[in-house]
Structure 1
Amino acid sequence: MSNVELPTIKRTPLTIIIGFTGGLFFILFYEAFHFFHFIPKNALMPSWEFLAPAWQKGIVPHILWWLMICAISIIWALLYQWTVKKSDTMWPGIFINVILFAIIFILLGWWMEIGPNVTELKHHSIISFCCLFILHGAFVGFSISYDEPYTDNEKHSR
């Protein structure tokens, strides 16, 4: 009974699934924060000027934005896996997402004026966005780094 091998999932497909799921959680919490009036609806969503005017007011821009968030989350998860997966805590994921929050809101929004401007948002919106980014970083970072110490021990014990 001790010789039974459990099925395993390769690292990269698992990371893609974790990234996609993290993106979905990000979107769901974003929509919930908007529902409870913590954040404005279109604070992060770009304007889709390449779409036909009739499509810009429908569900198409939202679907494109949801797909964009999931794709960015997958890329972020792959970069995390290739760089800091050896850490056995969620703190690197949180730290990286706090830096991402600062880049999006301070560098792009306030300084370069091509993203959401942090000076135009209310305090509870800024705190909600920061919590959203921290939650995403904790989920993706911990999900990727969770089993790393255990898999290393199994490799060395054989």
Structure 2
Amino acid sequence: MENDRKEKTYPKPMSFPMMVFWTGLIGGLFWSTIGWLAYYFNFTEIRPNILLEPWALGSWKYGWIGTLISILLLGCISVVAAFIYYAALRKFTGFWVGLGYGVVLFLLVFFVLNPLFPSMDSIVDLNRDTLISSVCLYIVYGIFIGYSINYEYQNTEMKRKETAS
């Protein structure tokens, strides 16, 4: 009988920065894997391994271990991108902001960071399939990050206002 009267304890909810971390990591791992599948099925000429080209020596970076390490590194880079979104854009509602964030990331990689990747052609030399696939991947990635962070931010704010009143 006494056990029935005890209040149930629930696990403490995840902190907002921790949720941003996991959103960035899972988003980066998932969408870079989709990018590898797009390369594998010839939708794009750009493979995740391109990330290792300027930094790693040897031909291992073109094999399966290079692909795996590249996907993991893209997951880590995605955490940084998620925290940038969190810091700058979390208060904006709707998926359009995430879509725009994905486009900005695409432009950053394909225009600004392009010289870092020797095997990646300039944007004017890439074929149409590669451009369309890449833009779409960056857009859905941006929407995933943006909508996830914004949704959690709106819920947190709503709960905060409810407890304040």
> What's the TM-score, normalizing by structure 1?
0.82
Instruction: Work out whether residues 25 and 136 of structure 1, in 8 Å CA contact, stay in contact via their aligned partners in 2.
Output: no
| 1:55 corresponds to | 60
| 1:19 corresponds to | 24
**Compared with structure 1, are the counterparts of its residues 57 and 22 closer, same or farther at alpha carbon in structure 2 (3 Å cutoff)?**
closer
Instruction: Work out whether residues 48 and 61 of structure 1, in 8 Å CA contact, stay in contact via their aligned partners in 2.
Output: no
Deviation at 1:67, TM superposition (A): 2.0
* Higher Cα Rg, which structure: 2
The structure with the greater share of residues assigned to helix is: 2
| 2:162 corresponds to | 157
What does residue range 48-127 of structure 1 map to in structure 2 within 5 Å? Answer: 50-51=56-57, 53=58, 55-109=60-114, 113-115=115-117, 116=120, 117-127=122-132
Count of aligned pairs: 152
Deviation at 1:5, TM superposition (A): 8.0
Instruction: Work out whether residues 16 and 74 of structure 1, in 8 Å CA contact, stay in contact via their aligned partners in 2.
Output: yes
Deviations for 1:133-155, whole angstroms, at most 9, x for unmatched residues? 00100001111111322322221
Deviations for 1:41-64, whole angstroms, at most 9, x for unmatched residues? 43771315543x363453332233
User: Gapped runs of 5+ residues in structure 2?
Assistant: 1-6
User: Gapped runs of 5+ residues in structure 1?
Assistant: none
Q: Which residue identity does 2:116 align to in structure 1? A: I
Instruction: Work out whether residues 31 and 137 of structure 2, in 8 Å CA contact, stay in contact via their aligned partners in 1.
Output: yes
SS at 2:113 equivalent: helix
* Greater displacement, 76-85 / 56-65: 56-65
Q: Distance in 1 between matches of 2:88 and 2:9?
A: 29
Deviations for 1:75-123, whole angstroms, at most 9, x for unmatched residues? 11111112211222222222122112112212333xxx33431122111
Q: Which residue identity does 1:24 align to in structure 2? A: L
Instruction: Work out whether residues 61 and 67 of structure 2, in 8 Å CA contact, stay in contact via their aligned partners in 1.
Output: no
| 1:28 corresponds to | 33
Q: Which residue identity does 1:38 align to in structure 2? A: F
Q: Distance in 2 between matches of 1:24 and 1:45?
A: 15
